[in-house]
Copies of this chain bind each other. A is one copy, B any other.
Amino acid sequence: MSSARKSPTMADVARLAGVSPMTVSRAFKTDSSVSDATRDAILKAADDLGYVFDSTASSLRSQKTDFIAVTIPSINNANFAETVRGLSEGLKPRGLQILLGYTDYDMAEEERLIEQFLRRRPEAIVVTGGRHTPRARRMLVNAGIPVIETWDLPADPIGHVVGFSNADAVRGMVDHFVSRGLTRIAFIGGDTSRDTRGADRRVGFVAAMRAHGLDATRLIAVGAPPISMREGAEAMGRLVETLPDTQAVICVSDLSAFGALSECQRRGLEVPGRLWIAGFGDYEIAGIAVPALTTINPFPREIGTRTARLILDVMDDRQATPARIVISPELLIRQSTG
């Protein structure tokens, strides 16, 4: 497949180009001072040898890895993917590379990932959510690099925050339903608190219902978060069987909401005629489903771009104190609710 002899180093390139290794090093940096003739000769020599720059050695000596560590709950989620895209886009121009890991909504796994990542000496670390194991939190506090918690507004943040209130967002949706005259409203979500954002949404639902003096016990919990379309369908089945007079359902995500909608279609229950359904996240399916699903857009991409900008600001000393950037989710009323 290729020659097995070990790959050439800057010293080899330097020898061939007739310069010192330091000059080769300079030729590979865009800013430094090397004459055009020398640089051309060096790049030619490097090309002839098939030289590939060694970032590991560079990182060790310069104490700069150009890594930004990022942990998300799931790699298979369009919203978190959008945040990563926003991050990536904002960091790429500076040559920063994302070290991405997913936790499967498991704090122990998050702890493992954070430890593994910190060993790579990233320039900053971005985590999803504000709840961590005590050891994970300690590691982040002591990491000596910028820490950004996202997708949440932790009461006691570690460092920077770029997020929104999941509870408030759902509260806004409940308020809207109540203002339209509904009272028997249910919530569909997962059955554990693994997904802390999902749990916060339920908390927001319960608080809002109570604030209106309404029954906040129509809670359907099904499966381990993140709950899927299938589980949304299952939950809807259970709901119409146990609480058939329910007027509206708020689902923890658009995916479960679509599952719920599909179950209604299978059972011949008209949406929104017989029942309203709303989701969370403004996934593409929410806009395409028939009827289109009412949902909440938390601007996941903006979370990423704002986080990226924040990281650059901190690295360039434009931001010294911990930032708290609050995103305002948008309630999108569509055909599935009235």
Tell yes or no: A108 within 8 A of B by CB: no
Inter-chain contacts of A119 with B (CB < 8 A)? 52-55
Tell yes or no: A265 within 8 A of B by CB: yes
Q: Chain A 215-250, CB within 8 Å of chain B: the 1/0 string?
A: 000000000000011100100000000000000000
Inter-chain contacts of A116 with B (CB < 8 A)? 97
Q: How large is the interface on A (under 10, 10 to 19, 20 to 34, 35 or more residues)?
A: 35 or more
Rounded to whole Å, the gap between the CB of A32 and the closest CB of chain B is 18
Inter-chain contacts of A262 with B (CB < 8 A)? 288-290
Q: Chain A 62-95, CB within 8 Å of chain B: the 1/0 string?
A: 0001000000000110100110110010000000
Report copies per complex: 2
Q: Does the CB pair B290–A266 fall under 8 Å? A: yes
Q: Does the CB pair B55–A3 fall under 8 Å? A: no
Chain B residue with minimal CB distance to A119?
B55
Interface-lining segment among A12-20, A37-45, A137-145, A273-281? A137-145
Tell yes or no: A56 within 8 A of B by CB: yes
Rounded to whole Å, the gap between the CB of A179 and the closest CB of chain B is 29
8 Å CB interface, A13-59 against B: 50, 52-57, 59
Rounded to whole Å, the gap between the CB of A161 and the closest CB of chain B is 13
Cα distance A305–B244 in the bound complex, in angstroms: 44
Among B3, B84, B98, B120, contact of A144 (Cβ-Cβ < 8 Å): B3
Rounded to whole Å, the gap between the CB of A299 and the closest CB of chain B is 15
Rounded to whole Å, the gap between the CB of A224 and the closest CB of chain B is 16
Inter-chain contacts of A100 with B (CB < 8 A)? 98, 100
Q: Does the CB pair A229–B81 fall under 8 Å? A: no
Tell yes or no: A155 within 8 A of B by CB: no
Tell yes or no: A190 within 8 A of B by CB: no
Cα distance A255–B284 in the bound complex, in angstroms: 10
Q: Does the CB pair B288–A7 fall under 8 Å? A: no
Q: Does the CB pair A65–B76 fall under 8 Å? A: no
Tell yes or no: A272 within 8 A of B by CB: no
Inter-chain contacts of A121 with B (CB < 8 A)? 54-56
Tell yes or no: A298 within 8 A of B by CB: no
Chain B residue with minimal CB distance to A261?
B290
8 Å CB interface, A103-123 against B: 116, 118-121
Tell yes or no: A178 within 8 A of B by CB: no
Tell yes or no: A173 within 8 A of B by CB: no
Tell yes or no: A322 within 8 A of B by CB: yes
Cα distance A227–B98 in the bound complex, in angstroms: 26
Complex A-B: 25 CB contacts under 8 Å = A1-B159, A1-B322, A2-B143, A3-B144, A52-B119, A52-B139, A52-B143, A54-B121, A56-B65, A56-B121, A57-B60, A75-B75, A75-B81, A75-B84, A76-B81, A76-B82, A76-B85, A88-B102, A99-B99, A255-B284, A262-B288, A262-B289, A262-B290, A265-B290, A285-B285
- A interface residue numbers (CB < 8 A to B): 1-4, 7, 50, 52-57, 59-60, 65, 75-76, 78, 81-82, 84-85, 88, 97-100, 102, 116, 118-121, 139, 141-144, 147, 158-159, 228-230, 233, 255, 258-259, 262, 265-266, 284-285, 287-290, 322
Q: A55-B121, A57-B60, A76-B85 are in contact. List 19 more A-B contacts (CB 8 A).
A: A2-B141, A3-B144, A4-B144, A50-B142, A52-B118, A54-B119, A55-B119, A60-B60, A75-B81, A76-B81, A97-B116, A99-B99, A100-B100, A228-B284, A229-B288, A230-B284, A258-B285, A258-B288, A265-B290
